[in-house]
Amino acid sequence: MPAAGRGERLGPGAPKALRELGGVPLLVHAVRALTRSRAVGLVVVAAPADGVAEVVALLDGHGLEGKDIRVVAGGATRQESVRLGLAAIPAEVGIVLVHDAARPLVPVEVVDAVASAVRAGAEAVVPAVPLADTVKRVEPVRGGPEPVLDTPDRATLRAVQTPQGFRREALAEVHAKALAEESAGDAGALPPVTDDAGLVERFGGRVVVVPGHEEAFKVTRPLDLVLAEAVLARRRAADAY
């Protein structure tokens, strides 16, 4: 679980993973969401490098006792945080899910569906939902107006969520290749990779999509926190969540 981001788009304050939702840090919600799945035996959290002790203390205090949870120092980018997390997973683990700490409310059904699809033989699996908005590609101009290049057919587009699931060797291999590319200074001309499945695609691997869920949204901007609070309140009213 990469959880080392600053969360600057949320506004000033603590690192995003430590912001609270219903009185509980986002990170704790996200870890609980994974441990609810019987497919998950171990959670490795990549914490802010200067916040490892704080994250360990936090996870000790929120009813996660008895779960196998390890905390490592994350990196300067999401990709680096994932790579450092992967390195801390025991060799015998064959299937890995990568889940953003910033998606605290992912339903257990999504976690199970992703894990099952990898178990059934897929190399890389992403949960995704159709788009409500029409999407345009533009020539970015700071402050705009921005010329439109084209409009992809919305029916072929999906908004991708996490957890993303992988055969462990496949994920480790593309992260190692990306690191080698960066060290050689070769990555500059390529668009940035913003998810792990994107790395698999870059190196020619096959990625499949399974249905995601609207409640697996990423908490990025202040309005997302308002929505997350509302979803949580509804769940708490419906059961002893």
- Parallel, antiparallel, or unpaired: how do β-strands 24-25 and 20-21 relate? antiparallel
161 belongs to the binding site for ligand C5P (CB under 6 A): no
Q: Which stretch binds ligand C5P (CB under 6 A): 73-81, 112-120, 132-140, 180-188?
A: 73-81
Residue selected from 10, 17, 110, 114 as contacting ligand C5P according to rule CB under 6 A: 17
Task: For ligand C5P, give the closer residue by CB, 116 or 220.
Answer: 220
- Scanning 103-221, the segments in alpha helix (DSSP H) are 108-119, 168-183, 196-202
Which of 73, 64, 10, 14 has its CA nearest to residue 45?
73
Query: 86: which residues sit within 8 A by CB, 6+ positions away?
Result: 44, 96, 168, 171, 172, 175
Strand partners of residue 129: 159
Which of 90, 74, 92 has its CA nearest to residue 82?
74
**Token pair in block for residue 95:** 């299937």
Residue selected from 35, 43, 45, 100 as contacting ligand C5P according to rule CB under 6 A: 100
CB of residue 52 to ligand C5P, shortest distance in Å? 13
Which residue spans within 29-134 are E strands per DSSP? 43-47, 69-73, 95-98, 124-130
The position carrying tokens 């995003």 is 16
CB of residue 147 to ligand C5P, shortest distance in Å? 26
77 belongs to the binding site for ligand C5P (CB under 6 A): yes
16 belongs to the binding site for ligand C5P (CB under 6 A): yes
5 belongs to the binding site for ligand C5P (CB under 6 A): yes
Q: Which stretch binds ligand C5P (CB under 6 A): 1-9, 34-42, 52-60, 173-181?
A: 1-9
51 belongs to the binding site for ligand C5P (CB under 6 A): no
Task: For ligand C5P, give the closer residue by CB, 4 or 124.
Answer: 4
- Residues contacting ligand C5P: total by CB under 6 A: 18
Task: For ligand C5P, give the closer residue by CB, 97 or 102.
Answer: 102
Find the helix packing angle between 168-183 and 78-87, rounded to 10°. 130
43 belongs to the binding site for ligand C5P (CB under 6 A): no
Which of 194, 171, 178, 193 has its CA nearest to residue 123?
171
The 196-225 contact track toward ligand C5P, x by CB under 6 A, reads ----------------------x-x-----
Which of 169, 156, 152 has its CA nearest to residue 128?
156
CB of residue 9 to ligand C5P, shortest distance in Å? 8
101 belongs to the binding site for ligand C5P (CB under 6 A): yes
Positions in the binding site for ligand C5P (CB under 6 A): 2-5, 16-17, 46, 74-78, 81, 100-102, 218, 220
